[in-house]
Amino acid sequence: MKRFALLVNLVLFVGTVGIFSFSLSNAVHKSASASEEEVRAKQESKPLVASKAEVEYCTADLKTVLKRVLQSCGLIAGGRRGCQPEEVKNIAQITDEDFNALFKPLSKRGGLILFDIGKDELDEEAKKLIEDLWADRRGASYFFIVARASTDGPAVKNRALSHRRANSVLFHLQQTFKDPDIEKQVGLLWLGEEFAQLGKDFCEWKRNRPDVPCKEEYINRSAVISWIDCRL
Amino acid sequence: MSKKTAIAYCIVAIGAILGVIYGGVSTSDFISHLDRKLHPISCSLFPFFSEKSWIDPSVEGCKVALFSNYSSFWRKSYWGGIPWSVPSMGLFSFALLVCLFSLITRRGHEMGPNISLLVAALAATIASIIFLKISRSELHVTCATCVGTYIASFILLLGTILVLVFSRHDRFVSQVRYTTAGAFVGWILLFLLELGIFVSLPVLVYAKSVPDYTKAVTSCENLNPTQDFDKYLIRLREAEDARVQGIFVTDPLCPACKAFHDRLRGLDVAKAINTRVFLLPLDAECNWMLKDSMHPGACLLSKAVICAKETANEVFDWIFENQEELRMLGLGKAIEQIREKVVKRFPNLADCIQSRDTKIFLNKMLHEAADMALPLITPQFYVNGKRVCDEDTDLGLEYALVRLLGNSDGDQK
């Protein structure tokens, strides 16, 4: 009788433990092998990563011009800061109209800083507009300041005046934000009266003087400022 | 063995079978996660009559229990650890074996089966009481499958008590005699040895079957910090024994980030990590990388954390404590109400949150993320510059952290 009991005990024990352990091991192996396949698949796939902004208006043409301007006017690879009309003409290798057309998609993004005739001082509204636009960087990489002068007066004087206007905006940014990155982000062009005068279609841009009638001579005593949402 | 004892064994068998079923369901759910992905789980007192789910609110209790530190042991040595349900199944299987033995041989009234059954029933009941207490006081949830196991334990104990009572009478009537004292002790020891094997062998088999995931958990991306990266890290609290740097990339309104943060704080191994926060709000209001906001309001709350500076941990904790309410406000486009809540709780942050400088700082933070090509997901956790893989942020977290810390001296291997 005791032998029978011992035999029953042994059979039950071996059977139960055996089935239990085998099932457990099998289930673990099955689930874990799926993981190895997953690791292989994952190594082949790339996750979505954070990146600078790249919007629709960043056409190949725009990027080409931007690159030339940035390289030659001191933003990429160091060097001096800023370009003047003759250089812009040569570097950009495009017509006045095409140059302005590049900036048109920025009408909702950028702003127009208007100056008094023959002056380069910023009024309070201009300062506020510059600061607001600078703070609204989003994913942009570069900030452009493109200053001009109206056709009143000699070209040489207007060239110097537009240079001072561009600098006024830059200096204000530097004084207000004291951010070393400004050096790496701001592109400066001064076009005087000789290249790419603005047409009335720029009247829709945000201005520091919205009440002033929008005439071509007024809007060319200006600096166009905007972040550019393109990756180069 | 009398009829009464046989009936008592039937009660034991019911408890044992229920225990094996609930333990089996829990073990099966646990094992399905060994592929390091999320899977639907069972969470019902009637597991064969209800659908498995991952999103159904009724499985929330089981999800919390499954991912808690209490669902398994030896987590540092084995990915996910060894689920407690494995030894539990062994215990109930042993009780079932004793029942079958007793009913087949009619020797269920002898001391060997009686004592070993009592040990098994007491172990199951004490474990159930401990786990019930943990679920009430620590996890604050009720896990239906766990409740099933508790019920099985109490049925097992009840049946065992009846077996002991009736067996005593049976032994007196049948006048059980052992040829030697050694035979008496031998039977008891045999059953206790079997009980030990039933509990420990499945644990060893499980441990032996789980593969080494070291390569997988250390195969995720490296952080490529920019020169200025440190400027944008927010210090929450210093870890006492910190010896390595951890970076927690988070969105204040991301529920997975909160869950991860809670899990991390509960781990001993995390005490060696000095964690700093990098904010990555998935809110299109400030994050140009998204077309639509996943967590509207996250930009505003990120600004609040930035503004808090030295007291960032207070703001951060408050946001996570109230995350569900804030998240719902955000989804309802009630950003102004979020602002009011923040300002009401932290009035000194009111001006800073709206300031241009804070907006610029947050923007620069996001540009840092772009410069580092940081994955556009939250949460992310980096230890020693190496990312904890998404698959290891729950069950495998402790295992992964030990390996990323460069310390593979787990608690067993």
Q: What is the structure's pLDDT at B413?
A: 41
Q: Which residues in chain A have Cβ-Cβ distances shorter than 8 Å to B375?
A: 47-50
Does A196 lie in the same domain as A89?
yes
Q: Which residue has the tokens 């040829």?
A: B179
Does A70 lie in the same domain as A42?
no
Chain B nearest-CA distance from A51, in A, is 4
Residue A115 located in a structural domain = yes
Does A169 lie in the same domain as A72?
yes
The Cα B203–Cα B217 span in angstroms is: 23
Which residues, in sequence order, are CB contacts of B349 under 8 Å at separation 6+?
A: B304, B307, B308, B315, B342, B343
Residue A83 located in a structural domain = yes
Q: The domain that contains B108 carries what CATH number?
A: 1.20.1440.130
The Cα B88–Cα B146 span in angstroms is: 11
pLDDT above 70 as % of chain A: 88
Chain B nearest-CA distance from A207, in A, is 20
Residue A54 located in a structural domain = no
Q: What is the pLDDT of residues A40-74, one digit of tens each?
A: 666 666 678 999 998 888 888 788 878 877 777 66
Chain A contacts in chain B segment 113-172 (CB below 8 A): none
Looking at B259-390, which runs of residues are DSSP E strands?
273-279, 380-383, 386-387
Among B209, B237, B253, residue at a domain's last position: B209
What kind and span of H or E run contains B234?
strand B234-235
The Cα B194–Cα B100 span in angstroms is: 14
Q: Do A25 and B107 touch (CB under 8 A)?
A: no
Does B201 lie in the same domain as B340?
no
Which residues, in sequence order, are CB contacts of B236 under 8 Å at separation 6+?
A: B275, B276, B277, B312, B313, B316
Does B257 lie in the same domain as B140?
no
Q: Which of A20, A21, A32 sits opposite B34 (nearest CB)?
A: A32
Is there a contact between A132 and A188 (Cβ–Cβ < 8 Å)?
no
Residue A94 located in a structural domain = yes
Q: Three-state DSSP class for B82?
A: strand
Q: Do A137 and B363 touch (CB under 8 A)?
A: yes
Residue-wise burial string across B233-253, b where 16 or more C-beta atoms lie within 10 A, e elsewhere: bbebeeeeeeebbbbbbbbbb
Residue B117 located in a structural domain = yes
Q: What mean pLDDT comes out for the span A210-225?
A: 89
What kind and span of H or E run contains A187?
strand A186-190
Q: What is the structure's pLDDT at A100?
A: 83
A29: buried, middle or exposed (CB in 10 Å: 19+, 13-18, 0-12)?
Answer: middle
Does B205 lie in the same domain as B252?
no
Does A189 lie in the same domain as A111?
yes
Q: Which residue has the tokens 């059953």?
A: B191
Q: What is the structure's pLDDT at B411?
A: 45
Axis crossing angle, helix B3-32 with helix B144-174, rounded to the nearest 10: 150
Q: How many domains does chain A have?
A: 2
Does B150 lie in the same domain as B37?
yes
Among B180, B209, B238, residue at a domain's last position: B209
Q: Which residues in chain A have Cβ-Cβ distances shorter than 8 Å to B364?
A: 181
Chain B nearest-CA distance from A119, in A, is 28
Q: Which region, left, alpha or beta, applies to residue A116 given φ > 0 means left and ψ of -120 to 50 means alpha? A: beta
Chain B nearest-CA distance from A199, in A, is 31
Which residues, in sequence order, are CB contacts of B390 under 8 Å at separation 6+?
A: B220, B377
Q: Do A137 and B360 touch (CB under 8 A)?
A: yes
Which segments of chain B have a pLDDT < 70? Answer: 175-182, 240-241, 407-413
Does B37 lie in the same domain as B119?
yes
Does B253 lie in the same domain as B128?
no
Q: The domain that contains B291 carries what CATH number?
A: 3.40.30.10
A77: buried, middle or exposed (CB in 10 Å: 19+, 13-18, 0-12)?
Answer: exposed
Q: Do A177 and B372 touch (CB under 8 A)?
A: no
Interface pTM, i.e. ipTM: 0.84
Q: Do B202 and A29 touch (CB under 8 A)?
A: no
Does B305 lie in the same domain as B383?
yes
Q: Which of B105, B372, B377 sits opposite A47 (nearest CB)?
A: B377
Closest CA to A63 of A92, A90, A84: A92
B130: buried, middle or exposed (CB in 10 Å: 19+, 13-18, 0-12)?
Answer: exposed
Does B263 lie in the same domain as B174?
no
Domain around B350: 229-404
Does A199 lie in the same domain as A113?
yes
Neighbours of B197 (CB within 10 A): 15
Amino acid present at B229: F
Say whether residue B177 is in contact with chain A using an 8 A CB cutoff. no
Q: What is the structure's pLDDT at B410?
A: 44
Does A175 lie in the same domain as A69?
yes
Domain around A37: 1-49
Does B234 lie in the same domain as B196?
no
3-state helix, strand, coil in chain B (%, to 5): 65, 5, 30
Does B395 lie in the same domain as B320?
yes
> What is the overall mean pLDDT for chain A?
85
Q: What is the structure's pLDDT at A39?
A: 63
Residue B125 located in a structural domain = yes
pLDDT at residue A154 is higher than 70? yes
Does B69 lie in the same domain as B170?
yes
Looking at residue A212, the DSSP 8-state letter turns out to be: S
Does A82 lie in the same domain as A42?
no
Q: What is the pLDDT of residues A85-118, one digit of tens each?
A: 677 777 767 788 888 888 888 888 999 999 999 9
Residue A22 located in a structural domain = yes
| Sheet architecture: strand order including B234-235 | B234-235, B273-279, B244-250, B380-383, B386-387
Chain A nearest-CA distance from B31, in A, is 6
The Cα B359–Cα B350 span in angstroms is: 13
Terminal Cα distance for chain B, rounded: 47
Does B39 lie in the same domain as B7?
yes
Say whether residue B387 is in contact with chain A using an 8 A CB cutoff. no
pLDDT at residue A152 is higher than 70? yes
Q: Which residues in chain A have Cβ-Cβ distances shorter than 8 Å to B33?
A: 31
The Cα B373–Cα B371 span in angstroms is: 6
Does A99 lie in the same domain as A6?
no
Interface test mutation site (partner B, options A1, A10, A20, A136, max chain B beta carbons within 10 A): A20
Residue A55 located in a structural domain = no
Asked whether the bond before B252 is cis by omega within 30 degrees of 0, the reply is no
Q: What is the structure's pLDDT at A35?
A: 62
Q: How many domains does chain B have?
A: 2
